[in-house]
Structure 1
């Protein structure tokens, strides 16, 4: 399986590449009045308007770092953007190398942990996180 690894604060997360449409640099965000706090706003990506979600709020991560990238995801026939501090790399991992966490210790959107060369990556089931 292939994963895109990105940083939020000091933590590393991974999402399956099959869910990702594109990775873009940060762009102009148009705020939407009275929208939920996790919606950063709307972006115009090559003439197509997409919602941009602040994934830090959904994961309860406080980061003072500047968000440099937007990952466009295709979920349920809809494209949505998430803002991240930095997209770092694409990794290839066998599914047997994803360590499951005990059910009582995880949120339902965490698929498991990848330990690669001493670095830990939290694998997120992005649909479950965004439906939270």
Structure 2
């Protein structure tokens, strides 16, 4: 299984590369009046308009850094962007190394946690998070 590791504040998260369409530098964002608070706005990616989601709000992470990257993901046949502080790396991991969490104590969108080089990576099920 391959994952893309990204940073939000002091925390590290990951999504499966199967869901990732592209990784882009931050670009101009057009705000959308009366959109939900987690929608940052719309971006124009090579002539295609995509919604940009503020994943910090959905994950309840405080990030003081200026976000530098946008990850374009496919969620239920729709391409959506998430803004992140920094994309760090792409890793090949063995699914057996993912520590599953007690489902009563953790949100359904967290697939598990992996300890990689002293960092705890929270692996997100992006479909569940964005629905």
TM-score of the alignment, normalized to the shorter chain, above 0.5: yes
Counterparts of residues 61-80 of structure 1 (less than 5 Å): 61-80=61-80
Unmatched runs of 5 consecutive residues or more in structure 1: none
Show the counterpart of 1:50.
50
Return the alpha-carbon distance in structure 1 between the equivalents of residues 119 and 38 of structure 2: 28
Answer yes or no: is 1:87 the counterpart of 2:87: yes
User: What RMSD in Å do the two structures reach over aligned CA positions?
Assistant: 0.6
For residue 103 of structure 1, give the secondary structure of its aligned residue in structure 2.
coil
The 4+ residue runs of structure 1 with deviation greater than 6 A are none
Return the alpha-carbon distance in structure 1 between the equivalents of residues 51 and 17 of structure 2: 20
**How much has 1:37 moved relative to structure 2?**
0.4
Unmatched runs of 5 consecutive residues or more in structure 2: none
**How much has 1:90 moved relative to structure 2?**
0.4
After superposition, the C-alpha distances for 1:84-112 in whole angstroms (9 at most, x for unaligned) are 00000001100000000111111000000
**How much has 1:63 moved relative to structure 2?**
1.0
Return the alpha-carbon distance in structure 1 between the equivalents of residues 9 and 66 of structure 2: 9
Show the counterpart of 2:35.
35
Question: How many aligned residue pairs are there?
Answer: 131
